Structure formats: structure tokens, C-alpha cells
């Protein structure tokens, strides 16, 4: 149905009429049919012309029109009013006096209200558009009334396409119509919109009476939040892992920020330094854990370079530590520095203990005195007497005798009787490779060769400073080393390998050999000058087979010793035991006798008190009785087939034994005749138990 339109005629064109015309022009349901103006230039007449309203000079022409609903006379002229009433008695539409003012006031009030409402709408839109949350509202009919910028962005639609349209049709997946129907809010609903995830709160809008008149949805993009949440979970796990590691490591760790303020310390740090987290975190690292040094953290922050392996003493117990500090650089930016402190006091203590143990072992090595040397035979008594006298002097002693005759025993005894305060150091010149022997004897400088220890190392000559060095198997020394040893003997100073500064040494030298040095000299294998330097006091120790009268006393001595060592209780020796021992030729000399008694004592029962012939092991080459020859001998008619390895080993042992016997124990000569290197011979003798256990 078409809304009715009010047709108005305005009589008069003064200021008041003009104001009324302006007000009426804005009204939708009012049409001004014409304006009556006696002066065509009056303000009302001019405005009417601008607005396209017909203007007439004769008001009577206007009033007579049949389509008029109202005639308005803003400035009433009583004569005109009466005239109108007379002419139009039926349609007395004239507004009463003062009505114009009322209309104007109402229009103004209406305009003010509209302005205020528009402002509020603008404010609301501004607020809605500035929030990141999408806002969508529908009225009671489900038509969209609000769609802010964020909603446009999130939904991917322009507001001009949705405003005033049914939400259910234009917003995919909306549930606002459902909320409109149920009147129940739907809160924190997660919803996927393509690649984005949103979370929505939908609420009904009620009027004062509680009737649902609309619904609002407020929603936000949580794609980033979701990703961040996942990242944070990952970071938390990593952090927990790192914390666990930092907490459990035995190394002390401290971290400072880029200004040098304490950020983190672990329990190992507190244990080591005695500093608690409260004393460190948030405090400047001006002094280091070792107050005598500049803070390494500050040094690293200043230079941006790591510092490694700095030794320090820290904590109330002044523990020895090694510190590494490194800058923390993230994308090239300095974020702080991390220090790791390794406690090395335990390692140092163990090293020291090891050194002590080594010294102890060496001291044990030189525990023998002249009282320990059995010397019943006149030849041995003479040798001991010579040695006693030599001990009183610092002169070089050369001990000569076959293997196992007791040369080392003599060396110990001489050292102990000499009263020299330093240590007794033994070197087997034949057992150490030549290149190694030089650095062993004289030590080496820092960085002398690959693998050399930092700071270099003392050699055995320096170790024996103030004491005695026992150069065993001197006959096996290479010509090169012979020259170097000669210089030591002449100048009484040594030079570490790789160094030129000499170090004075005060060391008594006892050399020993079972080789024929004179033969060697004749063959050019031993330097003559060195021979005379060494041969100051030569002492010959005869082989056991040349002094059999020593055998009973030696046996008694060994039985006593193994009683103690093996927990046996042998108090007497059957005379029948002595018989084969006295007959045997003892190629291995006293060491071999010692081994035989040792094996006999092992086969003695703990309750037995008498050593019997049956306890003795077979003695090589002694036939008859229970002392059978070694198995696998060539003359043996054995039916048993033995493993080849055993047969070969037995043959090798026999060959070695014969070679030693034939050369009187001269190992260099034995090696030469066997066609093997002396070192190989040593190795083989050791393996077959033909070389005394050292």
C-alpha cells in the first residue's frame, strides 16, 4: 500500500516561510504544492525556485486548488486568514498560529537525533572495524545487520554483499539462525574455514522483555595461535630436555647475558664453587670464580672469541679446574656467554697417586741388600766383597755374568749400601726399541715429536738424579746411543731430545751384561772408549754350575721365602731332593733354580712339612728316575698325536734353550746363531718363561 502524501501550500515568503520550506523539503511524505509571494525576491520565493516549487503572486489561485491538504501561513496576516476562511469554509486546513514554530522545533530535534544516531553508528563501525575479531550480527528476521572489516577478511566476502541479506544464505557455515531460534549461546566453538581455523562465540540478543531480537557472532583467527602453541610445546620440551642435561652433568655450567649479568648456573656449579644461584643470577660477573683472574665471561663478551683450557683453582676447597668459555651468538648477534668448568682435581689426585705408586714400585725394586745375596762359595764371596767396596765409591760398576746369575741383585745391593738419596732406576737396554730408548733415557722437549707430551718429559737419567741408574744388557746398546751415553759419562750432563740446553746430572751408573764385550769391541759393535769408561770396577758373577756349593743355601732361602709367599709349612728338605739339583747344569742359573723351587713348593700340600723329590718338576737333560726328558723330544716313541702348535712351541723352546747353553747365556750371540733379531729372542724367551719374570 502506498503511504499517503500530504500536499501543502505555503502562503507568504518571508524568513519564517523560508525556514518552513527548508524543513518540509527534507520530509519524505510532504509535498509543497506552491508558494504564494507578493515579492518574487523574498527569501521564501527564492528558496522555492531553487527547490523547484512553483511560486505565484496571487495566493487566491493557490488556495483554490482541489489537491491541497493543508494551507500554511507562517506569518499570519489576519485579513488574509479571514479571507481564506471565507473562501474555503469546508476545507479550513489552516494551521493554527504558532504551529509553524512547533513544526520547525520538531524537525530540528529530529535532525539532531538522526545526527546523533549516525555518529553512534560511525563510532560503532569504527570500533568494530578496528578490532581483530570478526563481528557478525543478524536481526530478528535473520538478516545481516553488522559485518565488520575483520569478518569480511575472515569470511572472504564484502559487506555490501551480505548486509541486509539472510545470513543463512550468504554466510557459509553460520549458525546464527540456530542461535536465533534456540536463544542459547554457543561459546568457544572451533571451526575450520579453509586453511584458517577460527574460534567463535555466538550469542542471542534480547530486548527488554527478554524476547530474542537478533544474534551476534564474535570470532577470531587462531591459525597463528595454534601454530604458536605447538611451537611453544616443542620449545618447552626442548627446554625441559636441556635443563635435565644441564642439571645432571658433572661439569659446572654458568651462563651470562650480553651485559655480563648472571642468567643460569647448574647444581654442579654450586657444588664446585660454593656459589648459589641467588648469589649469581642477575648479578654482574665482574670477578671470576677464581678472584685472582679477570672474569672470563667479560673477556669473552668483549672479544667475542672463545677461551679454552684455562686452569684455575676454585671454591672453598680450592679445587683444580679447567675452564672453557664460549660466546653465545644467535644469527651473528652476541646474546651472552657460556662457561663450562671441568673439575680435574680428581684426575690430578689420581695422577699424583700413580706417581707415588710408581715411586713405591721403584723403591720395592731396590729393596735387596747384600744380606739377601747368598754367597757360600769363595768366588761369590769375592764378588760380594768387591761390590761392597765399590758401593763406598761413586765409581761406575760393570757387572758381568750369565743371565740369571744375580747381576740385578748386586746392583740393588750396591745402590742401597751406597747411601745415595736418589732413586734406583733400572733400564733394560735390549728390551726397548732404539728410537724410544733415547727419549726414555734423556727425556724430551715440549713438541719434540708427534705425540710428545705437552711440557716435555723427564728422562730416566733425571729420574735417577742423586741416585743410581742400572743399565742392564748394556752390550745391546746401538752405536748411536753408545756415543750419547759416552758423552753423559764424560760431561756429567744430559740433553733432552729436541733441546740444546744441557742439564747437569749426578747419577751413579751400574751397567750389566752377559755378552762378551771384548768380542763385540773386536767386531766394531761396541765402542772402545765407552768400554773403558764403564769398565772402572768390573765384577764377575760366576755361573751357578761353577759354584754348586751355593745351591743348598739358595734352596733353603727359596723354601723359606715361598713358605711365606704361598702359605706353605715346609720345615725340612729331603736329602734326595738335593741330589738332582747338585747334578743339574743350570743354564738359567739362580733364576732357574728359583723357578724350580717355586714350582716344587706349589705342588707341596699345605699340610706337608718335608720337601720331597716327587715335588720337583722335571729338569731338562737330567735322565733317570722321575726326571724324564721333556715331552715331544726327538727320541721319544710317542703314539699320541699332539696339536701342531704345541709341538712347534716345544721345539722352539728347546732350540732357544740350546742356543743359550751353547753361547753361555750370551743373548746377542744366541740370537745371531738362531738367525733372529735380539729383540725377537727376548720376546720368545719371555714367552717361554726362559727370561726371569720382571
Ligand X SMILES: Nc1ncnc2c1ncn2[C@@H]1O[C@H](COP(=O)(O)OP(=O)(O)OP(=O)(O)O)[C@@H](O)[C@H]1O
Which chain residues interact with ligand X by CB under 6 A? 372-374, 401, 403-409, 472, 514, 554, 557, 590-591, 594, 692
Nearest-approach distance from CB 384 to ligand X, in angstroms: 8
Nearest-approach distance from CB 428 to ligand X, in angstroms: 8
DSSP 615: G
Nearer to ligand X, 290 or 472 (CB): 472
Please count the other Cβ atoms lying within 10 Å of the Cβ belonging to residue 382.
14
Nearer to ligand X, 296 or 597 (CB): 597
- Residue pointed to by grid coordinates 651462563: 255
Nearest-approach distance from CB 413 to ligand X, in angstroms: 10
- Give the nearest residue (CB) to ligand X: 406
Nearest-approach distance from CB 293 to ligand X, in angstroms: 53
Whose CA is closest to 516, among 504, 494, 531, 503?
A: 531
Nearer to ligand X, 204 or 401 (CB): 401
Nearest-approach distance from CB 621 to ligand X, in angstroms: 20
Grid cell locating 56: 505565484
Nearer to ligand X, 7 or 362 (CB): 362
Spatial CB neighbours of 23, under 8 Å, sequence gap ≥ 6: 103, 104, 107, 108
Nearer to ligand X, 128 or 390 (CB): 390
Nearer to ligand X, 175 or 591 (CB): 591
Alpha helices by DSSP H, 366-433: 378-391, 407-418
Nearer to ligand X, 100 or 513 (CB): 513
Nearer to ligand X, 42 or 413 (CB): 413
Spatial CB neighbours of 246, under 8 Å, sequence gap ≥ 6: 253, 264, 266
Nearest-approach distance from CB 591 to ligand X, in angstroms: 4
Nearest-approach distance from CB 405 to ligand X, in angstroms: 4
Nearest-approach distance from CB 406 to ligand X, in angstroms: 3
C-alpha distances in Å from residue 54, one per residue of 14, 33, 50, 276, 358:
16, 7, 10, 99, 132
Measured CA to CA, the distance from residue 669 to residue 530 in angstroms comes to 20
Give, for 227, the enclosing helix (H) or strand (E): helix 223-248
Nearest-approach distance from CB 366 to ligand X, in angstroms: 12
Nearer to ligand X, 293 or 598 (CB): 598
Spatial CB neighbours of 590, under 8 Å, sequence gap ≥ 6: 404, 405, 406, 544, 554
The strand pair at 134-139 and 212-221 is best described as antiparallel
Q: Are 412 and 387 in contact (CB under 8 A)?
A: no
Nearest-approach distance from CB 514 to ligand X, in angstroms: 5
3-state secondary structure of 174: coil
Measured CA to CA, the distance from residue 603 to residue 600 in angstroms comes to 5
DSSP 213: E
Please count the other Cβ atoms lying within 10 Å of the Cβ belonging to residue 497.
21
Q: What angle do CA 36, 40, 44 make, to 5 degrees?
A: 60
Nearer to ligand X, 59 or 558 (CB): 558
Q: Are 217 and 198 in contact (CB under 8 A)?
A: no
Nearest-approach distance from CB 387 to ligand X, in angstroms: 11
Nearer to ligand X, 301 or 474 (CB): 474
Give, for 151, the enclosing helix (H) or strand (E): helix 149-155
Amino acid at each position: 500500500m502506498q503511504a499517503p502524501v500530504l500536499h501543502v501550500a505555503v502562503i507568504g515568503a518571508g524568513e519564517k516561510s523560508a525556514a518552513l520550506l527548508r524543513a518540509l523539503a527534507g520530509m519524505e511524505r510532504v509535498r509543497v504544492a506552491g508558494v504564494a509571494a507578493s515579492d518574487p525576491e523574498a527569501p521564501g520565493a527564492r528558496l522555492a525556485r531553487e527547490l523547484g516549487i512553483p511560486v505565484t503572486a496571487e495566493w487566491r489561485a493557490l488556495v483554490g486548488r482541489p489537491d491541497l491538504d493543508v494551507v500554511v501561513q507562517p506569518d499570519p496576516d489576519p485579513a488574509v486568514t479571514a479571507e481564506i476562511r471565507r473562501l474555503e469554509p469546508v476545507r479550513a486546513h489552516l494551521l493554527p498560529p504558532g504551529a509553524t514554530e512547533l513544526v520547525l522545533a520538531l524537525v530540528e530535534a529530529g535532525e539532531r537525533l538522526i545526527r546523533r544516531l549516525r555518529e553512534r553508528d560511525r563510532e560503532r563501525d569504527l570500533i568494530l572495524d578496528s578490532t581483530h575479531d570478526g563481528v557478525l550480527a543478524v536481526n530478528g528476521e535473520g538478516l545481516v545487520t553488522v559485518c565488520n572489516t575483520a569478518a569480511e577478511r575472515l569470511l572472504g566476502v564484502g559487506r555490501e554483499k551480505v548486509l541486509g541479506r539472510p545470513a543463512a544464505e550468504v554466510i557459509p557455515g553460520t549458525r546464527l539462525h540456530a542461535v536465533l531460534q534456540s536463544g542459547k549461546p554457543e561459546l568457544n566453538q572451533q571451526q575450520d574455514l579453509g586453511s584458517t581455523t577460527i574460534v567463535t562465540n555466538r550469542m542471542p540478543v534480547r530486548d527488554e522483555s527478554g524476547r530474542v531480537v537478533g544474534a551476534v557472532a564474535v570470532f577470531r583467527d587462531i591459525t597463528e595461535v595454534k601454530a604458536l602453541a605447538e611451537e611453544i610445546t616443542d620449545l618447552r620440551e626442548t627446554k625441559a630436555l636441556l635443563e635435565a642435561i644441564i642439571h645432571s652433568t658433572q661439569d659446572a655450567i654458568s651462563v651470562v647475558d650480553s651485559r655480563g649479568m648472571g642468567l643460569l648456573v647448574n647444581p654442579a656449579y654450586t657444588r664446585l664453587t660454593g656459589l648459589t644461584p641467588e648469589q649469581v643470577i642477575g648479578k654482574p660477573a665482574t670477578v671470576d670464580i677464581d678472584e685472582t683472574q679477570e672474569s672470563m665471561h667479560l673477556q669473552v663478551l668483549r672479544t667475542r672469541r672463545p677461551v679454552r683450557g684455562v686452569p684455575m683453582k676454585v671454591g672453598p676447597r680450592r679445587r683444580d679446574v679447567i675452564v672453557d668459555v664460549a660466546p653465545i651468538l644467535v644469527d651473528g648477534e652476541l646474546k651472552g656467554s657460556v662457561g663450562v668448568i671441568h673439575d680435574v682435581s680428581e684426575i690430578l689426585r689420581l695422577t699424583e697417586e700413580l706417581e707415588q705408586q710408581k715411586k713405591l714400585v721403584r723403591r720395592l725394586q731396590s729393596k735387596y741388600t747384600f744380606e739377601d745375596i747368598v754367597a757360600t762359595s769363595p768366588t761369590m764371596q769375592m764378588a760380594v766383597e768387591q761390590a761392597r767396596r765399590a758401593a763406598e765409591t761413586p765409581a761406575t760398576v760393570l757387572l758381568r755374568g750369565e743371565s740369571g746369575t744375580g747381576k740385578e741383585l748386586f746392583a740393588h745391593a750396591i745402590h742401597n749400601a751406597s747411601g745415595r738419596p736418589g732413586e734406583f732406576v733400572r733400564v733394560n737396554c735390549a728390551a726397548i726399541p732404539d728410537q724410544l730408548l733415547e727419549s726414555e733415557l734423556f727425556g724430551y722437549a715440549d713438541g719434540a715429536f708427534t705425540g710428545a707430551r705437552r711440557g716435555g718429559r723427564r728422562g730416566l737419567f733425571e729420574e735417577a738424579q742423586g741416585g743410581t741408574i742400572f743399565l742392564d744388557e748394556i752390550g745391546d746398546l746401538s752405536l748411536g746411543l753408545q756415543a750419547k751415553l759416552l758423552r753423559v759419562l764424560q760431561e756429567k750432563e744430559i740433553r733432552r731430545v729436541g733441546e740444546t740446553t744441557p742439564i747437569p746430572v749426578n747419577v751413579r751408573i751400574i751397567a750389566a751384561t752377559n755378552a762378551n764385550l771384548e768380542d763385540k769391541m773386536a767386531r766394531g759393535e761396541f765402542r772402545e772408549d765407552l768400554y773403558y769408561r764403564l769398565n772402572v770396577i768390573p765384577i764377575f758373577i760366576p755361573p751357578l754350575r761353577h759354584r754348586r756349593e751355593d745351591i743348598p743355601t739358595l734352596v733353603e732361602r727359596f723354601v723359606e721365602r715361598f713358605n711365606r709367599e704361598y702359605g706353605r709349612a715346609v720345615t725340612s728338605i729331603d736329602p734326595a731332593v738335593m741330589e738332582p739339583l747338585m747334578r743339574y747344569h743350570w743354564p738359567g742359573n739362580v733364576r732357574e733354580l728359583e723357578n724350580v723351587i717355586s714350582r716344587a713348593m706349589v705342588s707341596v700340600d699345605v699340610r706337608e712339612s718335608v720337601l720331597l723329590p716327587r715335588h720337583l718338576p722335571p729338569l731338562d737333560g737330567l735322565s733317570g728316575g722321575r726326571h724324564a726328558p721333556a715331552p715331544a723330544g726327538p727320541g721319544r716313541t710317542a703314539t699320541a698325536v699332539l696339536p701342531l702348535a704345541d709341538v712347534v712351541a716345544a721345539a722352539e723352546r728347546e732350540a732357544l734353550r740350546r742356543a743359550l747353553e751353547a753361547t753361555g747365556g750370551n743373548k746377542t750371540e744366541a740370537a745371531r746363531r738362531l738367525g733372529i733379531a735380539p729383540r725377537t729372542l727376548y720376546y720368545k724367551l719371555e714367552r717361554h718363561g726362559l727370561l726371569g719374570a720382571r
